[in-house]
């Protein structure tokens, strides 16, 4: 097993993510399979385990704790997250934190994260009304949190602003990073910013929700020809092994065979050679089906609505690849007059676009697509209701 030396600790480069645990046909967590996978991971040297308050309807923490209960507390590192991105009046930091410690059966968290700091939630995390950051800094002082950090799907500008204000309090940052999002989500700029600030990077979504583990026949054959003994998924991890500031790569393994493949990959460090790296980045470009915006910004000067058209098209390119709430929330955080629905369809933008892009049509299609994606507020409402039901069931 490969390890990273971070904060004076030896962390396994492969982290066990508990967002996509094995499930049964009824959707409940398959605890027996999960326990077998955790036992196998521990035996192979995996010592970093990551969960969060909303995962699996609030049960991920409990199941992971049950799986780790037989092991000495000092033999593994446990990470959990505070759900400030889905804050509600009932989400008191101390109440949730105490509940998490109880559910996980521990007296402290090795690593604790502010969950999903982005354009909208950053206002919650930094609002004195909630006192979130001060509360968790105090928990760290008390030794109940050993290392404090945050996860983020934010833009580079939002990430930079948060680091300017609170970077001295953050010891690590978890971002979505893979060879597709290196350009699609501008992950390269985020990685470089964090590296410049001396903040180690934790990786989430290394396989883009499994999409990079299942490429087309032609792309798969091309990779197999160069590395016959490695899986398609391994290429994503080898890409990350070439980034020196990546300390932990979280993989949401849902089955034993996925774990075994990852253990094989993380048994040795074999980062992609330059030609191999160019190949996967070319594959990433072919996956995008992107609107060819070059961000020249000629379109912005004459837009009567004052829209940031290149930014909107960039987000739309991401959603065209995979329509997810995590991507759509970037638009949700914008004021209504800056969202794609504010486009009046005048065509002034298209008239000056060097790429001859039919911008009004794309913005209309973008708006129609967004209307079909559940908002983050709706997701949070559903999760809050599910958590409430679980608490009521537990009382009985």
DSSP secondary-structure letter at 212?
G
- Is the predicted pLDDT of residue 383 greater than 90, yes or no? no
Of the listed ranges 82-86, 90-94, 382-386, the least confidently predicted one is: 382-386
What's the whole-model pTM score?
0.82
Average pLDDT, the chain: 91
- Is the predicted pLDDT of residue 143 greater than 80, yes or no? yes
End-to-end CA, the chain = 44
Ranked by mean pLDDT, the top range of 181-185, 270-274, 316-320 is 270-274
- Is the predicted pLDDT of residue 237 greater than 70, yes or no? yes
Q: Is 322 exposed, middle or buried (0-12, 13-18, 19+ CB in 10 A)?
A: middle
Residue 373 near residue 323 (C-beta atoms within 8 A): yes
Mean pLDDT of 175-200: 96
Treating both helix axes as pointing N-terminal to C-terminal, what angle do 232-241 and 217-226 enclose, rounded to 10 degrees?
60
Q: Is 257 exposed, middle or buried (0-12, 13-18, 19+ CB in 10 A)?
A: exposed
State residue 372's pLDDT score: 87
Q: Is 153 exposed, middle or buried (0-12, 13-18, 19+ CB in 10 A)?
A: buried
Q: Could you give the C-alpha distances from 335 to 309, 323, 329, 331, 341, in angstroms and in order?
A: 14, 21, 12, 8, 11
State residue 89's pLDDT score: 53
State residue 133's pLDDT score: 95
CA distance 136 to 41: 30
Residue with tokens 């109880």: 102
State residue 377's pLDDT score: 63
Mean pLDDT of 127-131: 87
Quote the tokens at residue 349: 């933008």
């Amino acid at each position: 097993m490969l390890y990273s030396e971070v904060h004076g600790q030896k962390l396994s480069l492969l982290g066990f993510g508990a967002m996509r645990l094995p499930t049964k046909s009824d959707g409940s967590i398959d605890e027996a399979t999960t326990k077998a996978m955790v036992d196998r991971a521990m035996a192979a040297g995996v010592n970093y385990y990551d969960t969060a308050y909303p995962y699996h309807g609030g049960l991920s923490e409990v199941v992971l704790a049950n799986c780790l209960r037989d092991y000495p507390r000092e033999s593994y590192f446990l990470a959990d997250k505070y759900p400030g991105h889905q804050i509600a009046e009932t989400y008191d930091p101390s109440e949730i934190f105490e509940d998490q410690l109880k559910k996980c059966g521990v007296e402290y968290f090795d690593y604790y994260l502010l969950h999903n700091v982005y354009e909208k939630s950053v206002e919650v995390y930094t609002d004195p009304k909630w006192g979130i950051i001060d509360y968790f800094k105090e928990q760290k002082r008390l030794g109940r949190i050993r290392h404090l950090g945050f996860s983020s799907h934010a833009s580079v500008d939002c990430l930079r602003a948060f680091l300017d204000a609170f970077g001295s309090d953050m010891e690590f940052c978890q971002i979505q990073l893979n060879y597709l999002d290196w350009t699609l989500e501008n992950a390269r700029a985020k990685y470089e910013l964090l590296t410049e600030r001396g903040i180690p990077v934790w990786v989430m979504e290394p396989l883009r929700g499994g999409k990079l583990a299942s490429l087309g026949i032609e792309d798969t054959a091309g990779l197999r020809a160069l590395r016959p003994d490695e899986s398609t998924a391994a290429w994503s991890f080898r890409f990350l092994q070439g980034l020196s500031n990546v300390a932990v790569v979280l993989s949401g393994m849902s089955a034993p065979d996925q774990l075994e493949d990852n253990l094989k990959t993380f048994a040795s460090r074999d980062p992609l050679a330059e030609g191999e790296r160019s190949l996967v980045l070319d594959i990433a470009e072919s996956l995008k089906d992107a609107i060819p915006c070059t961000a020249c910004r000629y379109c912005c000067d004459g837009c009567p609505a004052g829209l940031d058209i290149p930014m909107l098209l960039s987000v739309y390119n991401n959603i065209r690849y995979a329509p997810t709430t995590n991507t759509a929330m970037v638009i949700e955080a914008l004021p209504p007059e800056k969202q794609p629905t504010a486009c009046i369809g005048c065509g002034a933008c298209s008239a000056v676009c060097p790429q001859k892009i039919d911008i009004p049509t794309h913005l209309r299609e973008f708006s129609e697509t967004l209307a079909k994606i559940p908002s983050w507020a709706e997701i949070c409402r559903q999760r809050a209701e599910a958590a409430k039901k679980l608490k009521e069931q537990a009382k009985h």
